[in-house]
């Protein structure tokens, strides 16, 4: 209630990107000392319930809830996010060369829709800077939970086709040693050239082939657009089948569809992908299609529109082994992750499950 009635109205009175930078600074500093980490854990009460334990491609998770890429772009908040109540975090997306992103403003709140319009366009300091920072974190033991690293091609003029793929591969090679798993973002909706590898069969196959040449050591997930046709999604999965290192898909990225949105800020948010409950139906349908056609070959991370325990539980039952969120954290506050996981554990027990793994895909059998 304090967050909803007092803090959020104050935060929402300021520019969304400025507030995000402030919270990144606060989170980074809270993670610096054992005292501030302890105090954060006392306030947020992270959940430790064995019924929620799960795993992603062999990476053990205390519970299924993680932070989606885009929130902690540079991996600065990893030391504190466990204390906030998450079990893993995906940092990035990080590009090979530095990527300045799109011009500001590039982040807008849609309060009436509990959503965001995001148009950062792959803002990144680049793989070299990230690798140096991650090495320092690892050497100091400051990454206390599993970390996925999302990579993409830089959003800079003239960088497309083969050169864009080379940029992505550079980021992958430099950052893979620091990750528990890697994500290849083949669906960023906000680049200047508008290219999404997942929508281009030839480029997606080339991406797979070039990754295979790297002799990968970590499990790889691909982040997919919610705007793919069912046929294209099935084709994409079939193209991926031959590569054993490809372990799954993140369902899904942002959508360009704005139908049904009512927020007044839409008039000023001219470009960008939409997150939040508006994404729920299409993201769930993509997850349903992917899981049903995977024949047990892949695991899935469900993201998009999780704003209640019903949303989270539905994604699990549709086939998600893990979940990610960002937008509902902004709207519900820092106690939300732990509240969500307590409610999910309660629902699992009410329905007679002995573990979260038993519930994965029960509503979506082929």
Q: What is the pLDDT of residue 281?
A: 93
Peptide bond into 171 cis (omega under 30): no
Q: What is the pLDDT of residue 142?
A: 65
Q: What is the pLDDT of residue 194?
A: 67
Q: What is the pLDDT of residue 121?
A: 83
Q: Does a structural domain hold residue 365?
A: no
Q: Does a structural domain hold residue 302?
A: yes
Q: What is the pLDDT of residue 269?
A: 87
Distance between CA atoms of 147 and 66, rounded to whole angstroms? Answer: 9
Q: Does a structural domain hold residue 41?
A: yes
Q: What is the pLDDT of residue 154?
A: 87
Which positions ≥6 away from 342 have C-beta within 8 Å? 47, 49
pLDDT band at 267 (very low <50, low <70, confident <90, very high): confident
Residue corresponding to tokens 């994409």: 236
Range of the domain at 248: 2-359
pLDDT band at 158 (very low <50, low <70, confident <90, very high): confident
User: To the nearest whole percent, how much of the chain has pLDDT over 70?
Assistant: 97
The pair of three-digit structure tokens given for residue 19, joined into one six-digit string: 């507030």
CB 50 within 8 A of CB 60: no
Q: Does a structural domain hold residue 43?
A: yes
Average pLDDT over residues 154-178: 87
Task: Check whether 185 has a pLDDT greater than 70.
Answer: yes
Q: Does a structural domain hold residue 64?
A: yes
Distance between CA atoms of 277 and 281, rounded to whole angstroms? Answer: 8
Q: Which residue has the higher pLDDT, 157 or 234?
A: 234
pLDDT band at 15 (very low <50, low <70, confident <90, very high): very high
What are the tens digits of pLDDT across the range 283-329? 999 999 999 999 899 999 999 999 999 999 999 999 999 999 999 99
Q: Does a structural domain hold residue 150?
A: yes
Q: What is the pLDDT of residue 4?
A: 85
In whole numbers, what is the pLDDT of the chain averaged over residues?
Answer: 92
89: closest CA among 105, 76, 106, 103?
Answer: 76
User: To the nearest whole percent, how much of the chain has pLDDT over 90?
Assistant: 74
What are the tens digits of pLDDT across the range 18-59? 999 999 999 999 998 999 999 999 999 999 999 999 999 999
Q: What is the pLDDT of residue 200?
A: 86
Q: Which residue has the higher pLDDT, 192 or 279?
A: 279
Distance between CA atoms of 183 and 354, rounded to whole angstroms? Answer: 30
Say how many domains are in the chain: 1
Least confident of 71-75, 161-165, 281-285: 161-165
CB 171 within 8 A of CB 152: yes
Distance between CA atoms of 104 and 116, rounded to whole angstroms? Answer: 15
Q: What is the pLDDT of residue 220?
A: 97
300: closest CA among 201, 218, 222?
Answer: 222
Alpha-carbon torsion angle 282, 336, 328, 229, nearest 10: -20
What are the tens digits of pLDDT across the range 99-110? 888 888 999 999
CATH number at residue 144: 3.20.20.70
List strand residue ranges (DSSP E) for 225-278, in order: 246-251, 273-274
CB 120 within 8 A of CB 99: no
Q: Does a structural domain hold residue 181?
A: yes
Q: Does a structural domain hold residue 366?
A: no
355: closest CA among 306, 321, 304?
Answer: 321
Task: Check whether 366 has a pLDDT greater than 70.
Answer: no
CB 149 within 8 A of CB 182: yes
Secondary structure (3-state) at 299? strand
Task: Check whether 280 has a pLDDT greater than 90.
Answer: yes
Task: Check whether 270 has a pLDDT greater than 90.
Answer: no
Distance between CA atoms of 73 and 68, rounded to whole angstroms? Answer: 10
Distance between CA atoms of 352 and 366, rounded to whole angstroms? Answer: 22
Angle between helices 336-350 and 309-318 (to 10 degrees): 60
Which positions ≥6 away from 118 have C-beta within 8 Å? 70, 106, 107, 190, 254, 272, 273, 274, 275
Chain centre distance of CA 225: 12
């Amino acid at each position: 209630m304090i967050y909803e009635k007092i803090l959020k109205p104050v935060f929402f009175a300021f520019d969304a990107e400025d507030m995000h930078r402030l919270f990144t600074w606060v989170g980074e500093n809270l993670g610096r000392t054992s005292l501030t980490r302890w105090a954060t854990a006392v306030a947020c009460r992270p959940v430790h319930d064995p019924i929620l334990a799960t795993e992603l491609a062999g990476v053990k998770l205390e519970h299924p809830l993680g932070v989606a890429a885009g929130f902690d772009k540079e991996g600065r908040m990893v030391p504190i996010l466990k204390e906030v109540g998450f079990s893993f975090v995906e940092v990035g997306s990080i590009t090979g060369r530095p990527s300045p992103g799109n011009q500001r403003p590039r982040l807008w709140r849609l309060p009436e829709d509990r959503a965001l319009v995001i148009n950062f366009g792959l803002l990144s300091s680049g793989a070299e800077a990230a690798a140096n920072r991650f090495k320092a974190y690892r050497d100091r033991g400051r990454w206390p939970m599993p970390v996925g690293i999302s990579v993409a091609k830089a959003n800079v003029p003239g960088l497309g086709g083969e050169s864009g793929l080379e940029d992505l591969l550079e980021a992958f090679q430099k950052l893979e040693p620091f990750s528990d798993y890697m994500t290849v973002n083949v669906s960023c909706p906000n680049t200047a050239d508008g290219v999404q590898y997942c929508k281009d069969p030839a480029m997606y196959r080339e991406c797979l082939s070039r990754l295979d040449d790297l002799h990968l050591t970590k499990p790889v997930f691909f982040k997919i657009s919610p705007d793919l046709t069912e046929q294209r999604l099935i084709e994409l999965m079939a193209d991926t089948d031959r590569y054993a290192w490809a372990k799954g898909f993140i369902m899904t990225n942002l959508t360009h569809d704005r139908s049904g949105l009512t927020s007044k800020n839409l008039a000023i948010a001219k470009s960008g992908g939409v997150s939040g409950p508006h994404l729920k139906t299409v993201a769930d349908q993509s997850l349903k299609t992917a899981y049903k056609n995977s024949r047990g070959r892949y695991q899935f991370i469900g993201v998009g529109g999780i704003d209640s325990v019903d949303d989270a539980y539905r994604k699990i039952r549709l086939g998600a082994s893990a979940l990610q969120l960002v937008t509902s954290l902004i709207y519900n506050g820092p106690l939300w992750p732990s509240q969500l996981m307590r409610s999910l554990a309660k629902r699992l027990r009410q329905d007679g499950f002995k573990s979260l793994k038993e519930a994965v895909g029960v509503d979506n059998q082929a």
